[in-house]
């Protein structure tokens, strides 16, 4: 039996519809929620994400403006641009595309983003709020998208065992904390984890964020597994694929997200949700 496919599109549309309603109310009061996107250089991935964020914001009635800096920009110059956006009354959220060029002091740049406008959760203070389960926390978009998919498809978390594969600061670690905040029992796995297949088999939900094409095969799952694939990779034929070998795993699990069309398609809606939240925090 083929597993239930947990597609991202309806999740993204539901979130966006809700945001759009609230934005329309703000507009009636003469207020315009606005996102400022800062891109350094011309990385194809950044430009693709910028286009898709722009589209999503437009659909929600949010104004999105882009600022593009040369790839040899200095840390000081970049921080100056961030501070201008921190101070701009008409900017409610700041999205900085990453990774930045190697010469940039990433930590200094992250700390420069005002936490109240930090819609992609870069400042350590924003992370602390998320770890504390503060209801005003602006959550990072990708782990946020995973949580929204689980909620939309009524996948219970309380008391369940969840294996998170990958411990990066942008996906694995924040996601583990968000799952823990929902009372899941979380096992964090990484490249040094032993018996990974066994840990995955014992989990109710497996979330893979390791960046290895088609790494998760049928040996890692059971018929009860819910598999969330965060990976965005290229396979041997240069075709987009996840961390999970979909063709082998989908027929033998309970539910699975596809790649593309899964987690990645929900992130810009979570970003719009964060922008609206930031807007309300700045206008109360």
The helix, strand and coil proportions of the chain, stated in percent and rounded to the nearest 5, come to: 45, 15, 40
Nearest to 254 by CA among 220, 209, 212, 223: 223
**The only residue of 263, 272, 276, 278 in contact with ligand NAP, by rule CB under 6 A:** 263
Question: Could you tell me the smallest distance in angstroms from the CB atom of residue 278 to ligand NAP?
Answer: 20
Cα distances (angstroms) measured from residue 10 to each of 20, 94, 108:
15, 26, 38
Told to check if 9 binds ligand NAP by CB under 6 A, we report: no
Task: Give the whole-angstrom CA distance, residue 170 versus residue 173.
Answer: 7
**The only residue of 57, 207, 264, 277 in contact with ligand NAP, by rule CB under 6 A:** 264
Pick out residues in 39-68 that bind ligand NAP (CB under 6 A).
none
Told to check if 184 binds ligand NAP by CB under 6 A, we report: no
Task: Give the whole-angstrom CA distance, residue 192 versus residue 196.
Answer: 9
Question: Could you tell me the smallest distance in angstroms from the CB atom of residue 215 to ligand NAP?
Answer: 6
Question: Could you tell me the smallest distance in angstroms from the CB atom of residue 262 to ligand NAP?
Answer: 7
Told to check if 192 binds ligand NAP by CB under 6 A, we report: yes
Pick out residues in 135-154 that bind ligand NAP (CB under 6 A).
142
255-256: strand order across its sheet: 4-5, 255-256, 226-229, 205-208, 161-165, 185-189
Binding region for ligand NAP (CB under 6 A):
142, 165-168, 170-172, 189-193, 196, 209-212, 230-233, 263-264, 267
């Amino acid at each position: 039996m083929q597993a239930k496919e947990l597609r991202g599109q309806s999740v993204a549309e539901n979130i966006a519809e809700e945001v759009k309603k609230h934005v329309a109310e703000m507009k009636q009061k003469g207020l315009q929620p606005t996102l400022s996107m800062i891109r350094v250089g011309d990385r194809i991935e950044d430009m693709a994400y910028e286009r898709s964020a722009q589209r999503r914001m437009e659909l929600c009635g949010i104004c999105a403006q882009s600022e593009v800096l040369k790839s040899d920009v200095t840390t000081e110059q970049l921080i100056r641009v961030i501070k201008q956006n921190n101070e701009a009354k008409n900017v409610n959220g700041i999205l900085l595309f990453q990774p930045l060029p190697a010469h940039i002091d990433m930590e200094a740049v992250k700390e420069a983003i005002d936490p109240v406008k930090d819609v992609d959760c870069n400042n350590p203070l924003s992370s602390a709020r998320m770890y504390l389960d503060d209801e005003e926390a602006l959550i990072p978009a990708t782990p946020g998208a995973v949580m929204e998919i689980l909620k939309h498809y009524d996948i219970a978390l309380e008391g369940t065992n969840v294996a998170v594969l990958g411990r990066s600061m942008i996906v694995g670690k924040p996601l583990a904390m968000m799952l823990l905040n929902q009372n899941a029992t979380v096992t964090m796995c990484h490249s040094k984890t032993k018996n990974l297949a066994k840990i995955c088999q014992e989990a109710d939900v497996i979330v893979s964020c390791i960046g290895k094409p088609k790494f998760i095969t049928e040996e890692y799952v059971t018929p009860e597994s819910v598999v969330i694939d965060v990976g965005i990779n290229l396979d041997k034929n240069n075709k987009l694929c996840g961390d999970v070998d979909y063709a082998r795993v989908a027929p033998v699990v309970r539910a699975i997200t596809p790649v593309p069309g899964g987690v990645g398609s929900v992130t810009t809606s979570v970003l719009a949700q964060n922008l609206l939240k930031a807007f309300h925090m700045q206008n109360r």
